[in-house]
Structure 1
Amino acid sequence: MDVSGKTVLLTGGSAGIGRELARQLKAKGAKVILTGRNVERLDFMRAEGFETIRADLSNADGVDALVRDLGERPIDVLINNAGQGVDHDFRKAAPDANASDGCIYANLNAPVRLITALLPRLRERGEAAIVNVTSGLAIAPRAGSPVYCATKAGLRSYTKALRAQLKGENIHVIEALPPVVDTQMTADRDGNKLSPQDCASQIMAAIEGNRDEANVGMVKILRVVNSISPKLAESIMLRF
């Protein structure tokens, strides 16, 4: 897909991977409408020339408000990038069951609800795309983040089924699977982290190349290991 001239709705576009995606899309000539929750970050992105919408996607009301704020404008590309993490590790302390609800909604329910709402206008475009950002953890879970991993695995499954449903239509469905990226969500994680810029550039390559998946960074290796032995891939990731 040539993104020049396309209108892109990018959720979670005021920081991290989303912010770099917004900048790279704009540099390629796309009009980017980005969402976020932090007012200061949205103001910063607005100063860079982006249209911004403040949206809390951790509940149905927030998603519906975003759709209303979009009005009737056409959308060529929907990128479901917004996501939340949540502490849920019984080895450290008893988790707060209520704390998981926002994570589950933002990571899984919100993309489904947005796709359902916006699919009619995507179908009206000559060429359109849906990009769902999951994670390498959708392939094999990390022991320390069971709820987050479950939401990403759920979105991966939904993306595959959606792609099959829309086969032959004008909408290309892409899944982006990042590794550990240096963002606010991973600030307390040690080890090597991919830069948001590099992650965004690899997702951009998948969009422009009309690929079904963007296996980013070390996820390429995880995919190979998983194709040889899913049990081995799982045993490696569950150590963390």
Structure 2
Amino acid sequence: MKLEGKLVLLTGGTDGIGLRLARQLRDKGAQVLVTGRTPERIEAAKAEGFEVLAADLATPEGVSGLLSAVAGRPVDVLINNAGMGVTHDYRTAIPDAAADERILQLNVHAPIRLIAGLMETLRGRPEAMIVNVTSGLAIAPNTGSAIYCATKAALRSYTMSLRKQLEHTRIHVLEVLPPVVDTAMTADRTNKKLAPEACAAEIVRAMERNADEANVGQVKFLRRVYSISPALARRIMLAF
């Protein structure tokens, strides 16, 4: 895809991978609409010149409000990047049901509803793309983040089916599978993390070459292991 001149709607674009991705897409000549929910980050993104749409996509109302805000705008690319993690580990505590509901809404329901709400707009564009950001944990889960892994696996499965459904249309479907990236969500992790700028750069390259799947960083190794032995890949990841 040629990114110059494209109108991109990027969820979760005021921090982490999303903010770096917004900057790099703008450098390629795209017009980027970003979403965010934290007032300080929203103002900081506006100060960089981005158009920011305030939306808490962890609620159904946030999704419907965002769709209303972009109604009639010629969106060429939807990037479902917003996501969150939560501990869901019965070895340490009973999981927080309210937190589980928010992550299910944000990581699964919101992308699906945004795709549905923007489908006719995307169908009408000369060239369009849907980018769903999942995770290496969609391939093989770890132990302590059961809900997060399940949401990313669900979005990965949905993305595969969606790509097949749209294969004869002008809408390309790309799945991005990052490793652990150095963001606010992983601040408490001590293991090796990929810089968010590097992750964003791989996403941009995948978009430009119309890739179906972008395995980022260490996920490339995980995919190779999984192709040889899915059971071994699962054993490795479940050790964490």
TM band (smaller chain): over 0.9
Shift of 1:98: 2.4
Q: How does 1:136-147 map to 2 (within 5 A)?
A: 136-147=136-147
Comparing 41-50 with 129-138, greater Cα deviation is found at 41-50
Two-structure CA RMSD over aligned residues (Å): 0.6
Distance 2:93 2:82 in 1: 27
Q: Find the aligned partners of 1:213 and 1:189 in 2 and give their Cα distance.
A: 26
> What residue ranges of structure 2 are gaps of 5+ in the alignment?
none
1:93-149 Cα deviation digits (max 9, x unpaired): 111222200001100000000000001000000000000000000000010100000
- Segments of 4+ in structure 1 off by > 6 A? none
Distance 1:50 1:99 in 2: 30
Does residue 64 of structure 2 align to residue 45 of structure 1?
Answer: no
CA deviation string 1:67-106 (max 9, x = no partner): 1111311100000000011121111111122220000110
Corresponding letter in the other structure for 1:31: Q
Unaligned runs of at least 5 residues, structure 1: none
Distance 1:97 1:7 in 2: 37
The equivalent residue for 2:233 is 233
1:206 maps to what in 2?
206
Residue 98 of structure 1 aligns to a residue in which SS? helix
Q: What secondary structure, in the 3-state scheme, does the structure 2 residue paired with 1:89 have?
A: coil
What is the rounded CA distance, in whole Å, between the counterparts of 2:164 and 2:78 in structure 1?
A: 18
**Aligned residue pairs, count:** 240
Give the distance between the partners of 2:71 and 2:132, measured in 1 at CA: 22
Task: Report the identity percentage.
Answer: 60
Deviation of 1:49 after TM superposition, in Å, equals: 1.0
| Cα separation, 2, equivalents of 1:86 and 1:13 | 20
Q: Name the aligned partner's letter for residue 226 of structure 2.
A: N
Return the alpha-carbon distance in structure 1 between the equivalents of residues 172 and 131 of structure 2. Answer: 8
Pairing 1:99–2:99 present: yes
**Residue of structure 2 in register with 1:187 after alignment:** 187
Q: Secondary structure at the match of 2:97?
A: coil
Deviation at 1:59, TM superposition (A): 1.7
TM-score, length of structure 2 as denominator length: 0.99
Instruction: Provide the residue aligned with 2:169 in structure 1.
Output: 169
Aligned counterparts of 1:30 and 1:176: Cα–Cα separation in 2: 19
Q: Deviations over 1:160-209 (max 9, x none)?
A: 00000001110000000000000000001111100000000001110001
